[in-house]
C-alpha cells in the first residue's frame, strides 16, 4: 500500500480500479479544497520546473480554473483581469529583468 494524501483529477480513482487496484478516497469538504488546490498548484509548478513539459502548463491551468471556480469565478473573469493588468502594466513578452532601482 502506498500513501498519497493528495488531490487528484476526478477520473483517477476509476483509472486505478481499471488497473485492478483499490483506491481509498474521500470527498474534500469545501473548507479543505483551497488548501489542497494550492498544494496541487505547487506540485504542478515543481513538475513544470523539472520537466519544462508543455503539458504541465495545461495541468497548471486546470488547477487555476478549479481555484477560480472555488471563489465563484471562472476563467473568463480571470482572463479579463489578466487583460486589464496587461493593458495597464504590460505583459512578460519582452523579458525585462528589473535589476535595481536607483534613487
Write the pLDDT tens digit of every residue in 45-89: 999 999 999 999 999 999 999 999 999 999 999 999 999 999 999
Extract the C-alpha cell encoding 69: 471556480
pTM of the model: 0.88
Kindly tell me if the per-residue pLDDT of 1 is higher than 90: no
d(CA 67, CA 72): 9
Task: Give the CB-side neighbour count of residue 36, counting CA atoms within 13 A.
Answer: 16
Burial grade of 3 (CB within 10 A; 0-12, 13-18, 19 or more): exposed
Q: Count of CB atoms within 10 A of residue 63's CB?
A: 21
- Report, as an integer, the average pLDDT of 89-93: 97
| pLDDT confidence bin for 38, thresholds 50/70/90 | very high
Residues 6 or more apart whose Cβ sits within 8 Å of residue 66: 33, 37
Amino acid at each position: 500500500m502506498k500513501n498519497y494524501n493528495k488531490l487528484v483529477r476526478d477520473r483517477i480513482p476509476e483509472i486505478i480500479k481499471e488497473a485492478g487496484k483499490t483506491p481509498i478516497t474521500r470527498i474534500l469538504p469545501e473548507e479543505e479544497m483551497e488548501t489542497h488546490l494550492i498544494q496541487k498548484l505547487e506540485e504542478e509548478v515543481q513538475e513544470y520546473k523539472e520537466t519544462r513539459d508543455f503539458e504541465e502548463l495545461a495541468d497548471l491551468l486546470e488547477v487555476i480554473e478549479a481555484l477560480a471556480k472555488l471563489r465563484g469565478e471562472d476563467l473568463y473573469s480571470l482572463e479579463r483581469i489578466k487583460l486589464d493588468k496587461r493593458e495597464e502594466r504590460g505583459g512578460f513578452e519582452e523579458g525585462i529583468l528589473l535589476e535595481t532601482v536607483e534613487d
